[in-house]
Structure 1
Amino acid sequence: MEERERQRRLLERERLHMEQIRQLDFEELQVEEVGDDDDYSSDHDREHNHRNSGGASASGEFTYDTSLAALHSYLGDVEDTHNRLAFLDGGALLNLPMLYLEGVVLFPEATLPLRVIHVHFIAAVERALSQVVAPYTIGVVRLYRDPHNGRVRFANVGCTAEIRQYRRLEDGSVNVVTRGQQRFRLQRRWIDGDGATCGEVQIIQEDSPLRTPQEAVGRLSPLSSCQSRVLRAHSLESPRARCSGDCDGNESEAMSEDSFESELSPREKRLHHSVLHSSFDTIYESGSGDDAKLDSQVEVRQDSSLANLLGPLEGDEGRTALSGNHLFKRMKQKYALAQMREVPRAFWPNWVYRMYDSYTLAQKAADRWKHIVKAPNMDGFVMKPDLLSFHIASKIPVSESRRQELLEIDGISYRLRREIELLEGFDRIRCRTCETLIARRSDMLVMSSEGPLGAYVNPHGFVHEVMTLYKVTGLAVLGTPVKEHSWFPGYAWSITECASCGAPMGWLFTATRKRLKPRSFWGIRSSQVADDTR
C-alpha cells in the first residue's frame, strides 16, 4: 500500500508539473511579437527511492516486435481523417492554429502523437479540423525554458503537422496522431475569439538537392587545375603528396587529373608533365619554344592517348624519335589550345564541390548511420537527400536543443554535414542538470521501427521524445512497475531520476511476458540530455 501511495503521489506531481507548463499566461500570448517572454515556475521537490545502477542485458535473442511501438496503440481507437494535404507554396504567409509543446522538435515526415487536454489547444485542434485554408493542418513550435533566467521562450522555426487520425473522448479531450509536413518561421502569435492559439507563419522554401559540377561537365578538370598540374609537374610530386591532413582520400581520387594520369604509362606521364609545364608558360607568356626544350629524346607510342591528341607523327610506323623542340611546337598547336577550349569554368577542383554534393553527403550520412545506429536502414533515402536529412534529424539520439538546431538549418547539404558531424562525435549521454554520465553510444537499443528516438504522449497530455538504451548507470528507480498506458506493449514502466541531482530522466521498462526479450530497457528523455555528446 505504501508503494502504491508513493507511486500515486509521483504521478500526481508529474501531472501538476505538466499543468504548470501549459498554464502560461495566455493573455500575454496575445502580443504581436514572437520574442515576448512568459514566466515559468516549477516544483523542484523530488522523492527518492532505491538506487539502481543495473540495466537490461544485451545478451539473448531479441523477440520484441518493434513495429508495435510505432502504432501508438495506447491512444485507443482513432479514426482516420482520410485527408492528405498538398504541400503549401514556399514563402507563403498564412494563419494557422498552433500548438506550443515543451520537449518536442517536429520534423517533416515524423509522427507526433498527441493527447490534447488544455482548452486552448483543444480549440486549436477543432479549428484545424474545420478550417477551409490548409484543412487538418496545425503548427507545432517547440517551447523551452531559458537556461539563464528560467523564462519560457518560443522557437522561431517550427513545422506544420497534418492531422491523420483523431478521437474525441468523453471528458472533452482529443487523441490525435499527426505527421510533420513543412518547416515554417513563426512571425507572430495570438489567441482568437474562440480561445484557440493561433500564429502567423511563413512557409520556408526548401532548396533542391545539389549535384557536383563534375556530373555536368564530365571528367574534365576545372581551369585552376592546369595551374596545380604545372606546379606538381615542376616539383615532380604525386598529387596525393600535396594533400593536407584535412583532405579525404576518397574525395581526392575524384579529381579528374588523377584519373587522366593514371591511364598513362610512366614514359607518357613524364612527357605529359614536361609538355604541360612548357605549354602553360607559353600560353600566358610570349616566350620562345627554346625555353621548353627537353634534355633527352623520348619515344612516344603512336597509339597512346597522348599520340592520339598530337595526331600522326613522322617516321617509321612503330616509333618516332622527336626532339623536345618539335614536340613542344606540336603540343602548343593541338594539345594546349584544345585543353583551353574544353576546360569547364569552375574555380575549385571537383573534390571541393563534392564536399557539398547532396547525394555524396547522403551516402556518407547513410553509411555513418548504418555503422553507428544500425537501424532502421537509411539506404532507401540516399537518392532523396532532402528526406534523408529530415529523417536522420528526427531520429538521431541527441539532445532536444541539438535537434532544434538541425530544424533551423537551411540547405540540405549543410544539414547533412552537421548530422554527419553529430553522428561521428556522438559517444556519451549525460544528465543535462549535473553532467553525470548516464550511458554510451554502444548502449543504444532500437525498440521502435521508426528508430532509436521517438515521440510518445502520456495520459496527462505531455509529449516525451525518448531514446532507448539497454544499459545505464547512475539512475534511481521510483515506485513499482505500471502496466497501464505503456508505450511499448508487453512492458511495464517505472519512473527514473538522476541519482546525483534528482532530475527526472525517464523510465525503466520491464517485460511482463516470460518470452519477451529484452527483459528490460531504459527510456531517456532527450530534453534531459546534455548537449555535449563527447
Structure 2
Amino acid sequence: MDEERILERERYQIEQIRQLELEELQVEEVDSDDSDDDSSSENNYRTSGGASASGEFTYDTSLVALHSYLGDVEDTHNRLAFLDGGAVLKLPMFYLEGVVLFPEATLPLRVVQPHFIAAVEQAMTQVEAPYTIGVVRLYRDSPDYRRPPRFAIIGTTAEIRKYCRLEDGSVNVLTRGQQRFRLRRCWIDVEGATYGEVQIIREDSPLRTPREAVGRLAPLLNLRSNIFQKQPLYSPRACRLGDWDGNDSDAMSEESFESELSLHERGLHQSALFSSYHTIHEPTSSEDEKLDPDGEVHQGSSRLDNLLGPLREYNTGRDSAKSALSGNSGNLSFKRMKADKCALDRLREVPRAFWPNWVYHMHDSYTLAQKAADRWKHIVKAPSMDGFVMKPDLLSFHIASKIPVSESLRQELLEIDGISYRLRREIELLESFDRVRCKTCENLIARRSDMLVMSSDGPLGAYVNAHGYVHEVMTLHKANGLAVIGDPVKEHSWFPGYAWSIAECATCGSQMGWLFTATKKKLKPRSFWGIRSSQVADDTR
C-alpha cells in the first residue's frame, strides 16, 4: 500500500511537471531598481546584481527531487542489504569530477561514455553486490587541464534504484548512496569497464555515554563519609563510585581500572583526584607526591600531608568534639571542626570525572546532533533536520550532503571517521560559512543570507546535463558579479517550470553556473541562481 501511495504521488507530480512544460516561455525583465543591471549590453551579455526573489514563494520543491528530466526511468526493485564493515569486494567504478556522494544522498547519472555504460551493465548482473557501483571524486590540483586529474581514496557505494536504456545506447540511472569505502586499487577490464577493489569502512556507533571516549571515572556525587573513615582517600578503592544515575553496577573496580592504566596515566589519575583539594586547603610545601610502581602514593610526602590533613583532622576532631561535650576539652575547637565539615561537604559535590563536562559534550553524539540540527534550522531553515536528531550517524551524512560549501570541504567531511568529529566540523562550517566566492579569482558572488532552497532535498543537490556531466549546484535568490549568456532554454531543465541560461564570472570568465527564469507568471520566485560547488572557493570567513 505504501508503494502504491508513493507511485500515485509521483504520477501526480509528473502531471504537474508536464503542465508546467506546456506553458509558453515568459521572460521577465529584470527589475529597474537593480543598479548593476545592463540588459542591453553587447555580445548578448547581461550582468546582474541579483535575481529577484520578492513576493510569495509558490514553487513546489518536491518536483525537483524527482529528476524528471531523465525521462521514464523504471524502478529496479532492488534494495541491497548493507555490507559488513571491513568487507573487501570488486565494484564497477565511476570517477566523477565535481561530485562528492554521501550515504543516503541521491545521484542522477546520464551515462554516455562506453566504458561507463559497460560498468552499469556489469553492475546490473554482478553476483557479489548486484545493482551497485562505486563513486569516487575526481579532482585537479591545479587549473592547468594539461595535467592529469587525481581521484580521492575515500568514496561511496551507490545502489542503482532506477534505470532506463535509450535508443542511442546511452543509459539514464538514478542511484542512492549506501556506504563509505576505501579504494585499494583500480583497473580496466577486458570489456573496457572501470573496476576497483574497495574495502567497506566500518562506521562507529553513536556515543551516548561520553566516558567511553574521554574518561573512565564517574562524578563524585554519591561519596559517603565512611569512605574517608575506612580507607585512605588516595586508595584506588575510593574511586569505586556509582554511575551517573546513582547505580554502582557500572562502577570501576580497583582491579579493572588500575590494571588499564600505565604508570604515567596513574600519575595523571592521582593528580586529578587530588586537584579538588587545592581549593579547600592550599599546600604549604612544594614537594610533589611520589608514586611507587604500583600507583600508590607515599604518605611521607609533605604535600600529600597538607592535602589530606584537614580530612584527618575532621575524623580525629569528631572524637575530640565528643570529649569536649562530655566535659573533656579537646585540642581542636568546635568551630574548626564545623569549618572542616563544611569543606568536606563541598568536596562531596565536586565532580570527579576525568574531564570537565564540556569535554564530554564534545564527544556526545546526541548532544552534537541536537546542536547541529539547531544550527541548520537557524542558518539554512529547510529542510528540517529534527527528525534525524536521534540518529546522529544519518544526520552527519545528511548535513554533509546538503551543506552549501565547496566540493573540497565536502570531501573533507566524507573522509572524517567518527560521528562526533564529523558533526563538530559541520557545526563549525555552519557557523563560519558566510560568503560564496569564485574559486578562480576570489570574486565575491553571494553571502549566506542569499541562499534559497528550491528542492526538498535542500540548498545543494546533484544534477546531470544532457551530455552526461554531473554538477552539484547550490541555489541562491541573489548573486553579484555574474554575466548571463544567451537566451533562456527550456529543454532539459533541472527545475520544472524554469528555463536556464549560462552564468559566468564577470571578472575571470569562469562558468559559475546558471540563471533560472520562470516560464509561468504565477511561479515565484521569478528567477534564481544555481552555482556549481566545484567552482566555489574554500572560503568560510
**What TM-score range do you get, normalising by the shorter chain?**
0.7 to 0.9
Runs of at least 5 residues in structure 1 that lack an aligned partner in the other structure: 1-46, 236-279, 298-313, 316-321
For the structure 1 residues 48 and 181, does the alpha-carbon distance in structure 2 shift closer, same or farther, using more than 3 Å as the test?
Answer: farther
Match of 2:431 in 1: 424
Deviation at 1:331, TM superposition (A): 8.3
Deviation at 1:229, TM superposition (A): 4.3
Match of 1:465 in 2: 472
Of 358, 366, 373, which residue of structure 2 is paired with 1:366? 373
Residue 103 of structure 2: SS of its match in structure 1? Answer: coil
1:332-371 paired onto structure 2 within 5 Å = 346-371=353-378
Residue identity matched to 1:81: T
Identical aligned pairs, as a percentage? 73
Match of 1:479 in 2: 486
Residue 178 of structure 2: SS of its match in structure 1? Answer: strand
Of 243, 246, 252, which residue of structure 2 is paired with 1:217? 243
Of 210, 214, 230, which residue of structure 1 is paired with 2:277? 230
Match of 2:191 in 1: 194
More moved, 48-57 vs 134-143 = 48-57
Residue identity matched to 1:152: P
Residue 80 of structure 2: SS of its match in structure 1? Answer: coil
For the structure 1 residues 49 and 531, does the alpha-carbon distance in structure 2 shift closer, same or farther, using more than 3 Å as the test?
Answer: farther
Deviation at 1:224, TM superposition (A): 7.1
Does the CA-based 8 Å contact 1:491-1:512 persist in structure 2?
yes
Residue identity matched to 1:218: W
Deviation at 1:349, TM superposition (A): 2.4
Q: Deviations over 1:258-296 (max 9, x none)?
A: xxxxxxxxxxxxxxxxxxxxxx967745985289989xx
Of 500, 504, 518, which residue of structure 2 is paired with 1:511? 518
Match of 2:313 in 1: 289
Give the Cα–Cα distance (whole angstroms) in 2 for the partners of residues 124 and 145 of structure 1. 23
Does the CA-based 8 Å contact 1:53-1:473 persist in structure 2?
yes
Residue identity matched to 1:433: T
Of 517, 526, 530, which residue of structure 2 is paired with 1:523? 530
Does the CA-based 8 Å contact 1:428-1:440 persist in structure 2?
yes
Q: Deviations over 1:404-451 (max 9, x none)?
A: 010001111111111111111100000000000000000000000010
Does the CA-based 8 Å contact 2:96-2:137 persist in structure 1?
yes
Deviation at 1:194, TM superposition (A): 1.6
For the structure 1 residues 119 and 483, does the alpha-carbon distance in structure 2 shift closer, same or farther, using more than 3 Å as the test?
Answer: same
1:262-411 paired onto structure 2 within 5 Å = 284=308, 289=313, 323-327=334-338, 346-411=353-418
Does the CA-based 8 Å contact 1:292-1:325 persist in structure 2?
no
Give the Cα–Cα distance (whole angstroms) in 2 for the partners of residues 329 and 441 of structure 1. 57
Deviation at 1:233, TM superposition (A): 4.4
Residue 68 of structure 1: SS of its match in structure 2? Answer: helix
| Structure 2 residue 57 is the aligned partner of structure 1 residue 62 | yes
For the structure 1 residues 127 and 232, does the alpha-carbon distance in structure 2 shift closer, same or farther, using more than 3 Å as the test?
Answer: same
For the structure 1 residues 528 and 159, does the alpha-carbon distance in structure 2 shift closer, same or farther, using more than 3 Å as the test?
Answer: same
Residue identity matched to 1:109: E
Residue identity matched to 1:230: Y
Does the CA-based 8 Å contact 1:224-1:347 persist in structure 2?
no
| Structure 2 residue 151 is the aligned partner of structure 1 residue 154 | yes
Give the Cα–Cα distance (whole angstroms) in 2 for the partners of residues 357 and 379 of structure 1. 17
Residue identity matched to 1:113: P
Give the Cα–Cα distance (whole angstroms) in 2 for the partners of residues 147 and 178 of structure 1. 30
| Structure 2 residue 161 is the aligned partner of structure 1 residue 135 | no
**What number of residue pairs does the alignment pair up?**
418
For the structure 1 residues 479 and 286, does the alpha-carbon distance in structure 2 shift closer, same or farther, using more than 3 Å as the test?
Answer: closer
Match of 2:497 in 1: 490
Residue identity matched to 2:83: L
1:73-222 paired onto structure 2 within 5 Å = 73-147=68-142, 150-211=147-208, 212-213=210-211, 217-218=243-244
Give the Cα–Cα distance (whole angstroms) in 2 for the partners of residues 389 and 283 of structure 1. 46
For the structure 1 residues 217 and 455, does the alpha-carbon distance in structure 2 shift closer, same or farther, using more than 3 Å as the test?
Answer: same
Give the Cα–Cα distance (whole angstroms) in 2 for the partners of residues 173 and 390 of structure 1. 31
For the structure 1 residues 381 and 77, does the alpha-carbon distance in structure 2 shift closer, same or farther, using more than 3 Å as the test?
Answer: same
Does the CA-based 8 Å contact 1:103-1:464 persist in structure 2?
yes
Give the Cα–Cα distance (whole angstroms) in 2 for the partners of residues 286 and 511 of structure 1. 79
Q: Deviations over 1:290-341 (max 9, x none)?
A: 89989xx9xxxxxxxxxxxxxxxx99xxxxxx92455478789x979x969x
Give the Cα–Cα distance (whole angstroms) in 1 for the partners of residues 374 and 536 of structure 2. 25
Give the Cα–Cα distance (whole angstroms) in 2 for the partners of residues 335 and 523 of structure 1. 63
Q: Deviations over 1:443-463 (max 9, x none)?
A: 000000010000000000000
Normalising to structure 1: TM-score of the pair? Answer: 0.72
Give the Cα–Cα distance (whole angstroms) in 2 for the partners of residues 200 and 120 of structure 1. 17
Deviation at 1:51, TM superposition (A): 3.6
Does the CA-based 8 Å contact 2:88-2:197 persist in structure 1?
yes
Give the Cα–Cα distance (whole angstroms) in 1 for the partners of residues 103 and 422 of structure 2. 14
Give the Cα–Cα distance (whole angstroms) in 2 for the partners of residues 438 and 421 of structure 1. 22
Give the Cα–Cα distance (whole angstroms) in 1 for the partners of residues 142 and 309 of structure 2. 64
Normalising to structure 2: TM-score of the pair? Answer: 0.71
Does the CA-based 8 Å contact 2:310-2:340 persist in structure 1?
no
Residue 89 of structure 2: SS of its match in structure 1? Answer: strand
Does the CA-based 8 Å contact 2:314-2:337 persist in structure 1?
no
For the structure 1 residues 283 and 151, does the alpha-carbon distance in structure 2 shift closer, same or farther, using more than 3 Å as the test?
Answer: same
Residue 61 of structure 2: SS of its match in structure 1? Answer: coil
Runs of at least 5 residues in structure 2 that lack an aligned partner in the other structure: 1-41, 212-217, 220-241, 252-268, 283-303, 327-332
Does the CA-based 8 Å contact 1:293-1:328 persist in structure 2?
no
Match of 2:231 in 1: none
Does the CA-based 8 Å contact 2:53-2:528 persist in structure 1?
no
Give the Cα–Cα distance (whole angstroms) in 2 for the partners of residues 193 and 186 of structure 1. 20
- Please identify runs of 4+ aligned residues in structure 1 that moved more than 6 A: 219-225, 280-283, 290-294, 328-332
